[in-house]
């Protein structure tokens, strides 16, 4: 009776990631059992149609033993499920049950399957490899790198890494640099692991970040291929993204009276952006040739990295604060943890959600797609003021208490004060450059040349003089950086 009630419950719910209906026993039944064994386990109910109608099967005393032998002979390693029979609506239903198998993956006649939703997915070579590594508690980055030696590692990068570990103090290591890397399992004998090559190689491997600024999916305004060792890749990627973000400044009436020190407010919370960059670099599937892809649009930024969520983690789990993450690249994760770049395993998406909470109209979503993981952050209106102050990037401290006219007056007063203090030091054209850079940190020399109505060469000469006078500083590269105006005290 108990089994009958359970079958009725399954029929009511329908097929799922752990339940499959079959009208008869055949090769597809074995494929489903293998898919269940390679994933989370499940049951195949033979004698029930796809739509849940009870059909029943006719079996003899020898039938179940024959089914068991066929499953055993066609699978490698041999799979032996639990088999039960139950009568439902005066018809016989056979229940084939298997738990998740301890040594994976299992194949059926040389093919490997895993369960995805309510269907079986034929695994490719990379998925088979990942499944095996996960089962054996290995990770790809822990294997030694063929045809490499200690000479392929950069001593300066290793020194910087070990110094950062000492500063953070999460572990104490003794011995010379190579001994320390051996203790961290980054070197085995005298052979670097994949992780060591990714972190410290003199010649970085071709695992690129492809970042770009786009107007539409088809109109690319700027793009860059970032290829470096992993710590440097994170920093270069952050510089590129920051260089393409809008920046607001918090300037209040009190600020105007005392000084022009400003608090920068970026278009997106930089803590969240950094977490997403770290997530993409640390958790990507490194046996995939696909690049990490970052696309910056007007009011949206997207991240894609090859490799689905690892282990049994799901997208829904990332919406909670109690999820338990597994590491695809265990040594890389540990390296970034020891340097303090990540604070704790499995808390990155908690910090992303909390950072975004401070941006009222901002939201993000993530999904698994095309063999990878995709995240999108977008907003409708950025802190209200980007759209409300006629492109003057100034923001009020208590925005709900400050009118548009008050904010406009604050902006104008700051500009007047800046002009008063720098008039004796700079020419009229240079004053214009300062004001434009103050409001538009990403402005280019070409755009300034057009505004001033002078040649590009003369514009660059004026910029150079402002640098010499200590009034401006270039943050980041020519392509992707921004201007910082160093304002005098008022």
Domain boundaries, the chain: 2-124, 141-200, 211-324+338-379, 423-485
The answer to whether the beta carbons of residues 134 and 188 sit under 8 Å apart is no
Least confident of 194-198, 231-235, 245-249, 268-272: 245-249
The answer to whether the beta carbons of residues 193 and 331 sit under 8 Å apart is yes
The answer to whether the beta carbons of residues 265 and 249 sit under 8 Å apart is yes
Q: Distance of CA 11 to CAs 6, 22, 44, 57, 94, Å?
A: 9, 12, 12, 16, 14
CA 25 – CA 47 distance, rounded (Å): 8
Which band of pLDDT confidence, cut at 50, 70 and 90, is reported for residue 400?
very low
Fold annotation for 211-324+338-379: Heat Shock Protein 90 (3.30.565)
* Tens-digit pLDDT profile for residues 231-267: 999 999 999 999 898 877 655 545 444 444 556 678 8
pTM for the whole structure: 0.60
* Tens-digit pLDDT profile for residues 402-418: 333 443 444 445 455 55
The reply to whether 2-124 and 211-324+338-379 are identical in fold is no
Q: What is the mean pLDDT of the chain?
A: 83
CA 450 – CA 454 distance, rounded (Å): 7
- What pLDDT does 446 receive? 83
DSSP-derived letter for residue 399 is: G
Scored b (16 or more CB within 10 A) or e, 65-95 reads eebbeebeebbeeebebebeebebeeebbbb
Could you tell me which CATH class the domain 423-485 is placed in?
Answer: mainly alpha
CA 32 – CA 245 distance, rounded (Å): 49
Please give the helix or strand (H or E) that residue 436 lies within, else none: helix 428-439
**Any idea what the Cα angle at residue 88 is, between residues 82 and 89, rounded to 5°?**
165
The most distant pair of C-alpha atoms in the chain lies apart, rounded to whole Å, by 104
Q: According to DSSP H, which parts of 327-403 are helical?
A: 330-338, 348-356, 385-388
Q: Looking at the predicted structure, is the pLDDT value of residue 453 above 70? A: yes
Fold annotation for 2-124: 3.30.950
The answer to whether the beta carbons of residues 315 and 309 sit under 8 Å apart is yes
pLDDT (mean) for 434-447: 78
CA 437 – CA 472 distance, rounded (Å): 9
Q: Looking at the predicted structure, is the pLDDT value of residue 423 above 70? A: no
- What pLDDT does 198 receive? 96
- What pLDDT does 419 receive? 52
- What pLDDT does 205 receive? 87
**Token representation of residue 229:** 């060792």
Tell me what percent of the residues of the chain surpass a pLDDT of 90. Answer: 43
Neighbours of 26 (CB within 10 A): 11
Least confident of 34-48, 145-159, 376-390: 376-390
pLDDT (mean) for 127-141: 74
């Amino acid at each position: 009776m108990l089994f009958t009630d359970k079958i009725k419950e399954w029929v009511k719910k329908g097929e799922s990631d752990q339940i499959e209906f079959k009208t008869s026993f055949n090769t597809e039944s074995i494929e489903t059992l293998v898919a269940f064994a390679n994933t989370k386990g499940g049951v195949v109910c033979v004698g029930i149609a796809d739509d849940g109608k009870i059909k029943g099967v006719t079996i003899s005393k020898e039938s179940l033993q024959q089914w068991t032998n066929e499953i055993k002979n066609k699978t490698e390693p041999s799979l032996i499920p639990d088999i039960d029979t139950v009568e439902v609506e005066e018809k016989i239903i056979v229940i084939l049950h298997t738990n998740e198998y301890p040594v994976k993956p299992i194949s059926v006649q040389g093919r490997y399957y895993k369960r995805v939703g309510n269907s079986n997915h034929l695994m490719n070579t990379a998925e088979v490899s990942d499944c095996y590594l996960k089962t054996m508690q290995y990770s790809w980055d822990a294997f030694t790198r063929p045809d490499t030696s200690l000479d392929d590692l950069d001593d300066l990068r290793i020194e910087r890494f070990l110094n950062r570990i000492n500063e953070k103090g999460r572990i104490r290591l003794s011995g010379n640099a190579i001994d320390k890397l051996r203790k961290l399992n980054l070197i085995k004998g005298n052979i670097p692991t994949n992780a060591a090559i990714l972190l410290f190689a003199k010649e970085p491997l071709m695992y690129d970040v492809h970042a770009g600024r786009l107007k539409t999916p088809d109109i690319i305004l700027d793009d860059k291929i970032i290829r470096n060792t992993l710590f440097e890749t994170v920093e270069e990627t952050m510089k590129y993204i920051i260089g393409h973000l809008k920046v607001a400044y918090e300037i209040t009436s009190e600020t105007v009276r005392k000084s022009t020190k400003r608090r920068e407010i970026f278009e997106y919370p930089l803590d969240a952006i950094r977490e997403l960059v770290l997530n993409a670099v640390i958790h990507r599937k490194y046996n995939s040739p696909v690049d990490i892809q970052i696309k910056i649009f007007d009011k949206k930024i997207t991240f894609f990295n090859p490799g689905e969520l690892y282990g049994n983690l799901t997208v829904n789990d990332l919406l909670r604060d109690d999820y338990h993450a597994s590491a695809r690249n265990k040594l890389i994760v540990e390296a970034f943890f020891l340097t303090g770049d990540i604070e704790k395993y499995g808390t990155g998406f908690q910090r992303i959600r909390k950072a975004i909470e401070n941006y009222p109209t901002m939201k993000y979503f993530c999904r698994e797609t095309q063999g990878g993981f995709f995240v999108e952050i977008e907003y409708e209106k950025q802190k209200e003021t980007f759209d409300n102050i006629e492109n003057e990037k100034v923001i009020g401290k208590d925005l709900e208490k400050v009118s548009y006219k008050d904010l406009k007056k604050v902006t104008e007063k700051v500009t007047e004060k800046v002009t008063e203090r720098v008039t004796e030091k700079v020419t009229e054209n240079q004053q214009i450059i300062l004001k434009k850079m103050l409001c538009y940190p990403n402005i280019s020399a070409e755009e300034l040349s057009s505004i001033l109505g002078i040649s590009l060469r003369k514009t660059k000469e004026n910029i150079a003089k402002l640098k010499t006078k200590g009034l401006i500083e270039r943050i980041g590269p020519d392509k992707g950086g921004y201007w910082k105006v160093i304002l005098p005290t008022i």
